[in-house]
Amino acid sequence: MSLDAGARLSLLFRMLVSLGFISVVTATIVVVAVGVTGSLVFLGITAAFFLVRTYILLFADVAPIAFVWNLWISNSVPIVLVIGAALLPTLYIQPVRDEIRAFRSEIGTTGELATDRHPKISTMVRRLSQQANISEPTVRIVNRRRPESYALGGTSSGTIVITRGVVRTLSDDELEAVLAHEVSHLRNGDGRIVNYLLVPMLVAERVGSADRPTFQFHYGLSVFSYGIRLVVWAVLTIVTTVQLALCRLGITHLSREREFAADRGAAELTGAPSSLASALERLHGVRSRPAEDMRDFKRSAGVLDILPPEGHRQRSGLFDTHPETETRIRRLESMVLEQAT
């Protein structure tokens, strides 16, 4: 079974549109982060420079000091941009990457290796990864009743994490289909794509995370200073909120398309789209029932899981990370009909 050229082009086009949209939003986030960081540092240096200038003018020649001051002020915009661009990696990008790396490391090292207790699962993944032409990923089994599965990494160093709830709920054919879905994510590089796309969103969160300024009385400038800080905070909050919403919109749209691609990839690897359709239906039914051990999904885990995070299953919308399960099942069932004809 292979994906026809028209469907491939349609899927590729929708993904490119999503990436283009996210790129534009990312550019605005970078501009705001650079502007805010550069402006704060520039204002601090300017205030210190002003005090030093005022003191020096009492004892030194006015002309050189005035020249330096005028040069500094007249070039404020490029100075702000240079300062902001220089500090952006240290203050925002690297901490965000470290946060993502730590989270992925945490969820990618939980549980026990499948090779220790579930050799059958290891055999399935080995066969599927050979078919997909990728390095065999590490498989970890987490002792959790709630059925979850997700893939981390890429083609050369991937990890698949599934819970005991998946193992106990599904038949062998259904389990193999779910594993094929995760192998497809690894082959498509979806985990790495999510890593990159989360960076601008988390940067925007950091830029807009300042608390609302409080009023403090310091003689005549208190009201004016508080008003300025309040306006700046309000504008920054509004801008970053809009940026976050647009970034989430692009990421979730791309995520939905990647889920369809992984479903199609799983059907191609196993040759049995009906098995994945049955697995999705069974897992959806199990996860629709209350569970005692439900965990609070972080944003990235929600994107990675085979089904939407708890609380997002019963509705569909622009910000859903996954397509509706019923839609995915219908598409898989149509593949079954294609096989029969």
3-class SS at 74?
helix
Retrieve residue 170's tokens. Answer: 């599904």
Q: What is the pLDDT of residue 294?
A: 35
Query: Which distant-in-sequence residues (6+ apart) come within 8 Å of 120 by Cβ?
Result: 172
Convert the pLDDT of each residue in 136-153 to its tens digit.
Answer: 999 999 988 888 888 988
The alpha carbon torsion through 311, 322, 278, 341 (nearest 10 deg) reads: 150
Cα distance between residue 126 and residue 131, in whole Å:
9
Cα distance between residue 295 and residue 226, in whole Å:
41
Q: Nearest Cα to 270, choosing from 135, 169, 173?
A: 173
Q: Which residue has the higher pLDDT, 213 or 221?
A: 213
pTM of the model: 0.77
Burial of 91 (0-12, 13-18, 19+ CB in 10 A): middle
pLDDT category, 69, cuts 50, 70, 90? confident
Cα distance between residue 187 and residue 141, in whole Å:
21
What mean pLDDT, rounded, does the chain reach?
Answer: 81
When pLDDT is averaged across residues 210-218 and rounded to a whole number, the result is 61
Tell the residue number behind the tokens 């709920």, with chain if given: 169
When pLDDT is averaged across residues 171-197 and rounded to a whole number, the result is 91
3-class SS at 144?
coil
Percent of the chain with pLDDT strictly greater than 70: 80
Q: What is the pLDDT of residue 309?
A: 54
Pick the most confident of 213-227, 234-248, 270-284: 270-284
Cα distance between residue 125 and residue 180, in whole Å:
8
Q: Which residue has the higher pLDDT, 288 or 28?
A: 28
When pLDDT is averaged across residues 35-63 and rounded to a whole number, the result is 81
Q: What is the pLDDT of residue 203?
A: 87
Pick the most confident of 41-50, 213-222, 332-341: 41-50
Convert the pLDDT of each residue in 2-48 to its tens digit.
Answer: 455 666 676 677 778 878 888 888 899 899 999 989 998 998 899 88
3-class SS at 24?
helix
Retrieve residue 17's tokens. Answer: 């549109």
When pLDDT is averaged across residues 193-206 and rounded to a whole number, the result is 84
Distances (CA, A) of 283 to 17, 211, 331: 31, 41, 17
Cα distance between residue 143 and residue 71, in whole Å:
64
pLDDT over threshold 60, residue 270: yes
When pLDDT is averaged across residues 178-191 and rounded to a whole number, the result is 92
CB-facing half-sphere around the CA of 105: CA atoms within 13 A:
6
Cα distance between residue 326 and residue 318, in whole Å:
17
Q: What values do phi and psi take at 215, rounded to 5?
A: -85, 130
Q: What is the pLDDT of residue 291?
A: 43
Cα distance between residue 129 and residue 126, in whole Å:
5
Tell the residue number behind the tokens 């698949």, with chain if given: 160
The alpha carbon torsion through 90, 94, 99, 104 (nearest 10 deg) reads: -170
Quickly count: other Cβ atoms within 10 Å of residue 13's Cβ: 11
Domain ranges of the chain: 1-341
Q: What is the pLDDT of residue 235?
A: 84
Q: What is the pLDDT of residue 170?
A: 94
Convert the pLDDT of each residue in 112-137 to its tens digit.
Answer: 888 888 899 999 999 999 999 999 99
| AA identity, residue 121 | I
Cα distance between residue 87 and residue 83, in whole Å:
6
Q: What is the pLDDT of residue 255?
A: 84
Retrieve residue 122's tokens. Answer: 């290891």
Convert the pLDDT of each residue in 84-101 to its tens digit.
Answer: 999 999 988 899 888 888
Q: Nearest Cα to 132, choosing from 89, 167, 181?
A: 181
Q: What is the pLDDT of residue 78?
A: 94
Q: What values do phi and psi take at 162, rounded to 5?
A: -130, 155
Percent of the chain with pLDDT strictly greater than 90: 29
Distances (CA, A) of 220 to 8, 47, 71, 185, 223: 66, 18, 31, 61, 7
Q: What is the pLDDT of residue 257?
A: 85
| Residues 229, 213 contacting (CB under 8 angstroms) | yes
Q: What is the pLDDT of residue 299?
A: 44
